[in-house]
Amino acid sequence: MSAPDSPPKSMRTPLGRVRNLGASHSGTSDFWRQRVTAVAMVLLMVPVIVVVMMLLGRNQAGAAQILGSAPIAIIMLLFIIASVWHMKIGMQVVIEDYIHGEKLKLASIMANNFFCIAVALASIYAILKLSSGV
């Protein structure tokens, strides 16, 4: 039986209590990053839908003219970055929760990171190329 003045028993190490981190050693940072990117995507959803509606029925030259506008390019870049970051975090959580072999988990997380980087770079390149008029 513990003394009345002693702190409650904890399964966490003293260093874990000081850093306020859980078993994953990352605390809730991924949870909050995913929520922040979700809010960013919700806020950017209306302007992106407006841009997509402006593109309906346009030919390639008309679409390039619309997407070449600096404010529209910035909106699209912000949406791409938020979406890809949100996708990366979400898929990483699924991988960490459902893949139990350490080597397969590591390979899956690496593949997820490379895929997200490739999608982001290709999308950013396309928007920057359209917005620069090249």
Domains and CATH numbers, the chain: 28-132 (1.20.1300.10)
pLDDT at 5: 65
pLDDT average per 10 residues of sequence, the chain (134 residues): 62 67 64 92 95 92 88 95 95 92 95 98 93 75
Helices marked H in the chain — which ranges?
14-19, 29-55, 60-67, 70-98, 102-132
Backbone torsion region of residue 57, taken as left when φ is above 0, otherwise alpha when ψ lies between -120 and 50, otherwise beta = left
Residue holding tokens 């029925």? 57
Query: Model's pTM, two decimal places?
Result: 0.74
